[in-house]
Amino acid sequence: MSDYLVKALAYEGQVRAYAVNSTETVGEAQRRHDTWPTASAALGRSISAGVMMGAMLKGENKLTIKVEGGGPIGAILVDSNAKGEVRGYVSNPHVHFDLNEHGKLDVRRAVGTSGTLSVVKDIGMRDHFSGQVPIVSGELGEDFTYYFVTSEQVPSSVGVGVLVNPDNSILAAGGFILQLMPGTEDETITKIEERLSKIPPISKLIEKGLTPEEVLEEVLGEGEVKVLETMPVSFKCQCSRDRFANAIISLGETEIQEIIDEDQQAEAKCHFCNETYVFSDKELEELKEEAKK
């Protein structure tokens, strides 16, 4: 089954909810960046949160998440939009440790706990919305929860998880976000807290084959969830040969000539998807002519 997310309401509109199966999407990121298991878990959790946060936007709006926790993984960057498209990378993909004391991938150690999580939203206005909070856990689910509560003043619960196969490929990945609407009854909050304390990790639910709809039923209670929309999810990069060509043109005639003289070609690599674009000396001559105009 291809990846998708659902948007839903629960408890007669008191709770807004999102859930995603992102196994293929995170798998694509793992293959492109050759991430090792702990790095895969950190990147995959961020991608799952990011694609759900993107689904909260409208139209052509998009957002960028940056996690800098001071750990050996370095920075995690994720871009997503309102169409279910997401891309991301980590500075150091070859990070892996022994399992932590709970028998899980040690994401906290990889991410670090002395830094920030920042979100920049491009909502089509001159000034972008940006929010930044300190890393409180390094496990990322708790950090995104803290971001929503602190930066957007929305009481929330974020669950994200990734399971990795022995060959480093992705076995299961997904997540959920619950957000309490103003005036949510105490009884509803208590019910949700009780269920959250008892459910298995989200990655285990995905591994068992639960759909995003069934994940929300598991988290919020059977019969409580009203699905509003489903949306396909995929790893998609906005880079292209034309974009890199335009970047080379912007260097100017003199600098392009220096590249031709010294290297006889230019090689450009996209951080987000690891795609490499090579421009021959003939192509560079053509771009140099464009730069003269």
Can you give the residue ranges of every domain in the chain?
4-235, 241-292
What are residue 223's DSSP bridge partners? none
241-292: in CATH 3.55.10.10: no
Mean pLDDT of the chain: 92
Decide whether 4-235 matches 241-292 in CATH topology: no
Mean pLDDT on 168-183 = 96
149-153, 178-182, 183-187, 279-283: lowest mean pLDDT where? 279-283
Q: How far, in Å, CA of 151 to CA of 136, rounded?
A: 14
Q: What is the pTM of this model?
A: 0.90
The CA dihedral of 283, 284, 286, 288, to the nearest 10 degrees, is 170
Q: Binning pLDDT at 50, 70 and 90, where does residue 1 land? A: low
What are residue 277's DSSP bridge partners? 268
| pLDDT(126) > 80 | no
- State the residue for tokens 């920042």: 118
Query: Would you state the pLDDT for residue 40?
Result: 97
| pLDDT(268) > 90 | no
Look at residue 16 and give its three-state secondary structure.
strand
Superfamily of domain 4-235: Hsp33 domain (3.55.30.10)
Q: Binning pLDDT at 50, 70 and 90, where does residue 171 land? A: very high
